[in-house]
């Protein structure tokens, strides 16, 4: 008999449609409770409604509560896998938080749904089934935290939501899914070449994120200076460049020794210090920014929140982001 821990956190996968208004909202009883016993013979599913949050309400503090429950599950030593249902809006951030802070002996798989359970063509039950099968797969071990939706298996580190409503929304832009769930078969094709985990007791650091744009100046940087800022992530232009008018504000933040991490606002590819013009990546690097090659802005933000809790200095943070 295998045993899975199934943690529900909320999101569309746990909502239903108000037949009168058409609005999608949280249900009294989790709509998946009635399905989970159907998925597999000889499988015990221990189900907990740990939160009932739409995922835009989820904070790093909630992620930490989830992480602690999974650490406890590892200590209990009775589970073959863990599946977490989550709203899709911030699923990628919770998944990466767990990826960076967990080293469980069993696979941890996140899933969600783009359509509530009572909508025609709903994807939630199938996604849950595929996530459970993936979590039971021996091959899923040692692959870090995984995200399973729409029959694809993605790594927490690189997956991102790419469409507001389409069920084929979760993608890994640079290299695609690492596996698929085809009917009952879970099959992997690739794996990441390294994993990293950090111990964490708090997740309170104030890390903000800005998106660069043509004509960006120092207004937003200056506004951030009056806050309790611990770190900043910028989704810069192209390979990692900023407009010259943004530099005076950026420099003031760097002078305060606040780590500033550069990613790209481009959907695909990695941020690098390539250009030597004013505000180009090489110039930004000379000023003291940290490049986060391969990570999206939200992922770099989660990583910076976690690294700042380790009390690393900026040089150490830089080295870790280069790995």
**Which one of 31, 60, 81, 87 is in contact with ligand ASP (CB under 6 A)?**
87
Catalytic residue status for 85: no
Distance CA(269)–CA(38), nearest Å, equals: 41
In this structure, the strands spanning 15-17 and 24-26 are antiparallel
Q: Which of residues 95-134 bind ligand ASP (CB under 6 A)?
A: 112, 114
Using the rule CB under 6 A, is 295 a contact of ligand ASP? no
Work out how close the CB of 169 gets to ligand ASP at its nearest, in angstroms, rounded to a whole number: 8
Angle in degrees, CA 146, 150, 153, rounded to 5: 25
**Which one of 89, 103, 119, 151 is in contact with ligand ASP (CB under 6 A)?**
89
Could you give the 3-state DSSP secondary structure of residue 190? Answer: coil
Ramachandran angles phi, psi of 204, nearest 5°: -105, -5
Active-site choice (12, 85, 160, 169): 12
In this structure, the strands spanning 179-182 and 170-171 are unpaired
**What are the strands of the beta sheet with 146-149, ordered from one edge?**
43-49, 2-8, 81-85, 108-111, 146-149, 152-155, 179-182, 185-188
Work out how close the CB of 13 gets to ligand ASP at its nearest, in angstroms, rounded to a whole number: 6
Find the DSSP H helices in 77-123.
Answer: 91-101
Residue 3: HSE in the Cβ half-sphere, 13 Å Cα cutoff: 9
Question: Per-residue x/- mask for ligand ASP, residues 9 to 38, rule CB under 6 A?
Answer: --xx--------------------------
Which stretch in 28-36, 86-94, 133-141, 175-183 sits in contact with ligand ASP by CB under 6 A? 86-94
Work out how close the CB of 112 gets to ligand ASP at its nearest, in angstroms, rounded to a whole number: 5
**Which one of 88, 127, 264, 296 is in contact with ligand ASP (CB under 6 A)?**
88
Work out how close the CB of 11 gets to ligand ASP at its nearest, in angstroms, rounded to a whole number: 3
Kindly list the residues in this chain that would bind ligand ASP in the complex (CB under 6 A).
11-12, 54-55, 87-89, 112, 114
Q: What residues act catalytically?
A: 12
């Amino acid at each position: 008999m295998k045993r899975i821990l199934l943690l529900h956190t909320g999101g569309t996968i746990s909502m239903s449609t108000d037949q009168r208004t058409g609005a999608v909202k949280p249900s009294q009883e989790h709509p998946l409770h009635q399905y989970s016993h159907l998925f597999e013979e000889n499988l015990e599913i221990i189900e907990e409604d740990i939160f009932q949050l739409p995922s835009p309400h989820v904070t790093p503090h909630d992620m930490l509560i989830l992480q602690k429950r999974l650490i406890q599950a590892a200590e209990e030593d009775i589970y073959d896998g863990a599946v977490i249902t989550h709203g899709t809006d911030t699923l990628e951030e919770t998944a990466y938080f767990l990826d960076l802070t967990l080293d469980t002996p069993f696979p941890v798989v996140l899933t969600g749904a783009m359509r509530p359970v009572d909508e025609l063509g709903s994807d939630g039950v199938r996604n849950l089934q595929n996530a459970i099968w993936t979590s039971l797969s021996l091959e899923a071990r040692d692959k870090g935290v995984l995200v399973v939706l729409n029959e694809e298996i993605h790594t927490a580190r690189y997956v991102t939501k790419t469409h507001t409503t389409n069920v084929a929304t979760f993608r890994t832009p640079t290299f695609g899914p690492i596996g698929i769930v085809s009917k009952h078969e879970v099959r992997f094709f690739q794996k990441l070449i390294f994993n990293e985990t950090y111990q964490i007791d708090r997740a309170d650091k104030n890390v903000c994120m800005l998106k660069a744009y043509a004509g960006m100046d120092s207004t937003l940087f200056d506004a951030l200076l009056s806050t309790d800022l611990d770190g900043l992530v910028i989704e810069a232009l192209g390979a990692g460049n900023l407009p010259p008018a943004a530099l005076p504000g950026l420099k003031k933040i760097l002078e305060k020794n606040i780590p500033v991490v550069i990613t790209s606002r481009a959907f695909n590819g990695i941020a690098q210090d390539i250009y030597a013009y004013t505000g180009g990546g090489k110039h930004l690097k000379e000023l003291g920014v940290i490049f986060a090659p391969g990570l999206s802005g939200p992922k770099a933000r989660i990583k910076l929140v976690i690294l700042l809790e380790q009390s690393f200095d900026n040089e150490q943070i830089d080295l870790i982001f280069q790995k």
